[in-house]
Structure 1
Amino acid sequence: MSWLLLSAAILALFIWLQPMPGNFVHYLFWKYTSSAKPMTGYISHAGASIYYEVYGQGKPVLLLHGGLSNKLSWFSQLPWLVSAGRQVILIDTRGHGESSHGHIPLSYPVFADDVRLVMDKIGIASTDIIGWSDGGIIALLMGLETPQRVDKIVAISANFNPSGVLEDNGAADERFHAFADLFLSDRIRGWWSGAGAGHPDLAAELTALWQSEPQLEHEHLRAITAPTLVITGENDVIDLPHSGTLAQMLAKGKIEVVLGAGHASTMTHADQINKLIADFLQIRRPE
């Protein structure tokens, strides 16, 4: 009887958490059975080794994950983007995943420098960028500092200064937090960020960073000329008016609000996110 109850509970949780489990199973099947094997490598910068993976052929698109996660957070987007005929570049942000921390403090300008050096190593002159959370901030900074290297930007749940982050996001990402509370022990959280036993130190450093950066003024945003799609969740930790201001201030910005979504919309609301990305980048929608 206990096994039946446990099985029923797991099945109910699997259904409630959709589409995350289904998408992750699809990603694992794709990764280990398809012929799309990545080219992998590292670049060295400021004492750190920055890890990257390159999948597929075609016009490049760079995926930049959020803080305290890793490249695996794109499991709902990677297989589809490759099948749609794009060359997809994944990077583990400094201090995350398979990238080491280095000997300098973490900052968005340093993250952006790391990304540009990866592009140089691969031989990519310019690229579309899809960035989630911290990754979206990095994308905006690259659009400001090196516009010739950025074609289009999709900035998902990104803020342009610390005032845009809500202290209490209420019931945002209810399903994701339920999953995290049930399964993400401190050890698993350390695996997810890639920091292992050093996860608390990484979390503390990033929390301090989030309180002081980024510091993009309205004139900075107006100087970003790349067409930019700002995506935010209805219940995001990024204040909705802040996201609206971001889209309004950008030279070529537009905004889409995903109803019911929180900060982890790339995972919890992947179908909606992928359709928005496909339409903006003018590529085939996922089937």
Structure 2
Amino acid sequence: MFNQALWKKRIVPMSGLILLLVILALFFGLRPMSTNMLRYWLWKSSTSVPTLSGDIMNKGAHIRYVAYGSGEPVLLLHGGLSNKLSWFSQIPWLVKAGRKVVLIDTRGHGESTAGHTALSYQIFAEDTLLVLDRLGIPRTDIVGWSDGGIIALLLGLESPQRVGKIVAISANFHPSGVTQAADGTPSNPLRQQMQQIGDWLRSWWSGAGANHPALAAEIQALWQVAPQLKHADLQAITAPTLVIAGENDIIDLPHSGELAQMLAHAKIEIVLGAGHAAPVTHASEINHLIAAFLGINP
């Protein structure tokens, strides 16, 4: 005879154990990413460094920002379909090293709203300058990843007086630099089977929630036509720049080399084994390169 009480007594704890084992497997399997995330949350929950957060309003959008610590500023600009939390492997050590770390959720991403204007790198750059104005920062070093790197280059071109050094990670200056379609289409049967899980993860990663599909469509359309920086534009960027690319990046390595060659004062570093997500997957190497280029003792 089926004993429901006994079944609940035995099976429910077993389900909890299985869930715990899955969580532990993910934690250890995803190291060092999971370890860095844990360190970030421990730092964030225990830190007593000065923290300033708020919003600026521009063209109908609320742009969310946060600044940690004090000292010389460094602005971290995340990639498309991501959010400011993507810098979890960089924030604590930069603050500990005595830098004022400024983070912005790009328009439509994370805690920032989209507003009533079409998304473009120009409007992203405009939002960024308004945040710097709000914080009273006349000039800052910038570390930009992917779309964030493009924004950094655009600021270096159009507002050079506001930019110190630039670290451009996995950034392209023209759509032709992307080696695979950036339209989110699954490229093989396995990825097709994982589509639903992937959609949820992408919406979580962008921070856009239910607005993620609309945001993704607009950002992916932007990637097809922008940026459109010419060689003359790159040559006009005088800020010392470190171009970083992953060995297996979706940004074509010759394109990254061309970017470094065309910039007035630049060098390039290739992170072996890394793809487009090097600040997360290869944080130790990325952190070392950032520290050395910006003259920081981590």
On the 8 A contact 1:162/1:213 being kept in 2, the answer is yes
| Structure 2 residue corresponding to 1:48, chosen from 39, 44, 61 | 61
Aligned to 1:59: 72
Q: 1:87 aligned to 2:100?
A: yes
- Report % sequence identity: 65
Aligned to 1:174: none
Cα distance in 2 for residues equivalent to 1:136 and 1:143:
10
Aligned to 1:230: 243
Cα distance in 2 for residues equivalent to 1:128 and 1:184:
37
Moved more, 188-197 or 116-125: 188-197
Aligned to 2:230: 217
Aligned to 2:33: 20
State TM-score, norm by structure 2.
Answer: 0.88
Deviation at 1:13, TM superposition (A): 3.4
Note closer, same or farther for the CA distance 1:183–1:230 as it changes in structure 2 (3 Å cut): farther
Note closer, same or farther for the CA distance 1:184–1:123 as it changes in structure 2 (3 Å cut): farther
Deviation at 1:86, TM superposition (A): 0.1
* Alignment of structure 1 residues 135-174 onto 2, 5 Å: 135-167=148-180
On the 8 A contact 1:150/1:226 being kept in 2, the answer is yes
* Alignment of structure 1 residues 264-279 onto 2, 5 Å: 264-279=277-292
Cα distance in 2 for residues equivalent to 1:182 and 1:211:
22
Deviation at 1:9, TM superposition (A): 5.0
| Number of aligned residue pairs | 276
On the 8 A contact 2:56/2:131 being kept in 1, the answer is yes
> Deviation string for 1:70-120 (max 9, x for gaps)?
000000000000000000100000000111101000000000000001111
On the 8 A contact 1:31/1:37 being kept in 2, the answer is no
On the 8 A contact 1:27/1:75 being kept in 2, the answer is yes
Deviation at 1:184, TM superposition (A): 5.1
Deviation at 1:7, TM superposition (A): 5.0
Deviation at 1:191, TM superposition (A): 3.1
Matched to 1:29, the amino acid is L
Note closer, same or farther for the CA distance 1:37–1:188 as it changes in structure 2 (3 Å cut): farther
Cα distance in 2 for residues equivalent to 1:27 and 1:5:
26
Q: 1:203 aligned to 2:216?
A: yes
Deviation at 1:196, TM superposition (A): 1.5
Deviation at 1:207, TM superposition (A): 0.5
SS at match of 2:260: helix
Cα distance in 2 for residues equivalent to 1:262 and 1:188:
18
Aligned to 1:259: 272
Runs of 4+ in 1 over 3 A off after TM superposition: 1-13, 181-188
Segments of 5+ residues of structure 1 without an aligned counterpart are 170-176
> Deviation string for 1:9-43 (max 9, x for gaps)?
54443333211100000000000111125201111
Matched to 2:227, the amino acid is P
CA RMSD of superposed structures (Å): 2.1
SS at match of 1:263: coil
Aligned to 2:47: 34
Matched to 1:72, the amino acid is L
State TM-score, norm by structure 1.
Answer: 0.91
| Structure 2 residue corresponding to 1:100, chosen from 102, 113, 120 | 113
Cα distance in 2 for residues equivalent to 1:256 and 1:210:
24
Segments of 5+ residues of structure 2 without an aligned counterpart are 1-13, 183-189
SS at match of 2:62: strand
Note closer, same or farther for the CA distance 1:186–1:167 as it changes in structure 2 (3 Å cut): closer
Note closer, same or farther for the CA distance 1:47–1:182 as it changes in structure 2 (3 Å cut): closer
Cα distance in 2 for residues equivalent to 1:141 and 1:35:
34
